[in-house]
Structure 1
């Protein structure tokens, strides 16, 4: 009899929150990409896009093949349009891609890294060959495998922002574009070490996969060692005949003091929390010119520039990656 009079537990606020957490969000129609003459509806997450089969087929072989398959007679429709649910995609990615398929203005210039990532991801999955080719071309031109091309590139093909490097590292892994990874890792560890390395060391941060975190940390240590025997070898004072001052230097004491001052400025940052600078791919610092005599300057530059070539060849290995040629052969295309 006791069971017949069991009191039902009162629902609490936490129960309501749990229900809301597991509740499927309502379907919404895209305000930008719901065309009255559309004849196919793509559903991505909770967003529906009403588009035309002809436009999708023109760009994508996957959709072209899909639309050749007859639909079952009892297939559910919305406004007489069949509905295709695309699993694993994000509505944000599709909005960015559709902005290219249905442009409101000429794209031109440099697309953002976020737009490029969406186009690369979806064009690979659904085989949009022209879009994929353009994305891969931009990435390879922005991050070439040849030093002379690197020297001529300065964000000519992609618009850079604060999250560009982290975003593109994850993208390169996802779409199999391995040849751009050394430069991306190098950018994090040499250009912005005080910004990115603390994030990489933070276990709560999920910006990068574990393998990419390890590569960056390994690379930072390896590059510090590499520059000591390459680009900055002219600052080596721990040998019997240091490079500076040069044999025919006209002011040996001044050039020795200048070289030591440069050494301190690189390896002894002003703030204790700052990491030392890495000079492996940077251009020669023109401020050093006025600090050295013409003879020492010429010798130091020669050592520095030969060192850059060596560093470039060793760059992939510094991050635990294969050599440049093998990385290129591993690219998905």
Structure 2
């Protein structure tokens, strides 16, 4: 394998690196930064209308080349190009159950830029599956104990913060309400502003606009979950016992008041809580509470985008 430098104008202090993705029978060399990849026009054109159109353009006489292959310089980082090319040459790449968020991010960025439609849709499906637009889908992701851990996206420290950043920067708006909420319930107020340690020496941080949205969303959700008609708005209702049929008025009122004050002081996120058995209310109040809780959770979900300064679900479209 030749180690001669490509015939292109380079700064004398720049060392060209040949990537492991180097097919001897390739017909084009992509260069990202100082890293080169030898691949096939046919493979690029098969998956991307951008490269399909570029392949048909006449080459200028001074086109740089390497081993007879034209060099196409990209403005992308080499890591993004590496991830995408590996997927293009490996038909089983997306058969894996979980893929890391950095790899997904590479496919989103280059998929949008170069119209790699199929791989873009594949990674978007993973993001939207993990950050759904319906309450039923959100609930379906919970484990038996009510907790959640990503399954189609490889779980990692800072994943929720990084998901928000990726979705907002690439206009994947439908993902944002759930992603913002996941940041709130998994991060302390300090982490929202200072970031989340990824455990590898780097920190996942939110932009100023995302910090503001999370801060405003925190206050709005903690208040709204207790409003009449919402998740636990019924806790503070003072309906006469003869109308509710409560079996133990004094005990139920005391338990409701204790629940309310305890969780207000703790700042608990209960917007989508689905269990009230721990309140130990009487049979009548429990049944009434479950009904109101179900309807209140639905209402809170409909309001979720607005808590983060976003349009309602019906107007929240991905701009890809």
Smaller-chain TM-score range? Answer: 0.7 to 0.9
1:179-228: CA deviations, max 9, x gaps?
22111111112x2142xx31333399772221111111110011111011
TM-score by length of 1: 0.79
> What secondary structure does 1:49 align onto?
strand
Residue 25 of structure 1: CA displacement?
5.4
Does residue 1:256 correspond to 2:247, yes or no?
no
Which aligned pairs between 1:232-243 and structure 2 lie closer than 5 A?
A: 232-236=232-236, 241=238
1:47-105: CA deviations, max 9, x gaps?
11111111111111111111111222332212222211101x12111222122112285
Structure 2, unaligned runs of 5 or more? 1-11, 143-149, 197-202
Does residue 1:161 correspond to 2:156, yes or no?
yes
Asked if 1 retains the 8 angstrom alpha-carbon contact of 2:277 and 2:286, the reply is no
Does residue 1:180 correspond to 2:175, yes or no?
yes
Asked if 2 retains the 8 angstrom alpha-carbon contact of 1:216 and 1:319, the reply is yes
Distance 2:223 2:242 in 1: 23
1:94-137: CA deviations, max 9, x gaps?
22212211228553223222222111111110011111222233
Distance 1:243 1:149 in 2: 37
- Work out which of the residue numbers 201, 210, 214 in structure 1 matches 2:208: 210
Distance 1:245 1:37 in 2: 85
Partner of 1:284: 275
Distance 2:94 2:174 in 1: 26
> What secondary structure does 1:43 align onto?
strand
> What secondary structure does 2:225 align onto?
helix
TM-score by length of 2: 0.82
Distance 2:72 2:116 in 1: 18
Residue 150 of structure 1: CA displacement?
2.7
1:254-307: CA deviations, max 9, x gaps?
3333323433442333xxxxxx1111123225534xx22211111222222111
Partner of 1:15: none
Asked if 1 retains the 8 angstrom alpha-carbon contact of 2:225 and 2:271, the reply is yes
Does residue 1:151 correspond to 2:139, yes or no?
yes
Residue 172 of structure 1: CA displacement?
1.6
Residue 162 of structure 1: CA displacement?
2.2
Does residue 1:198 correspond to 2:186, yes or no?
no
Tell me how many residue pairs correspond in the alignment: 293
Residue 29 of structure 1: CA displacement?
1.1
Distance 1:214-1:26 versus aligned 2 partners, 3 A rule = same
- Work out which of the residue numbers 63, 69, 85 in structure 1 matches 2:57: 69
Distance 2:195 2:157 in 1: 20
Asked if 1 retains the 8 angstrom alpha-carbon contact of 2:87 and 2:93, the reply is no
Does residue 1:266 correspond to 2:263, yes or no?
yes
> What secondary structure does 1:320 align onto?
coil
Distance 2:85 2:132 in 1: 29
Distance 2:270 2:286 in 1: 17
- Work out which of the residue numbers 81, 87, 94 in structure 2 matches 1:107: 94
Does residue 1:94 correspond to 2:81, yes or no?
yes
Does residue 1:294 correspond to 2:283, yes or no?
yes
Distance 2:240 2:69 in 1: 76
> What secondary structure does 1:41 align onto?
strand
Partner of 2:34: 46
Distance 1:314-1:243 versus aligned 2 partners, 3 A rule = farther
Residue 243 of structure 1: CA displacement?
8.5
Distance 1:106-1:118 versus aligned 2 partners, 3 A rule = closer
> What secondary structure does 1:84 align onto?
strand
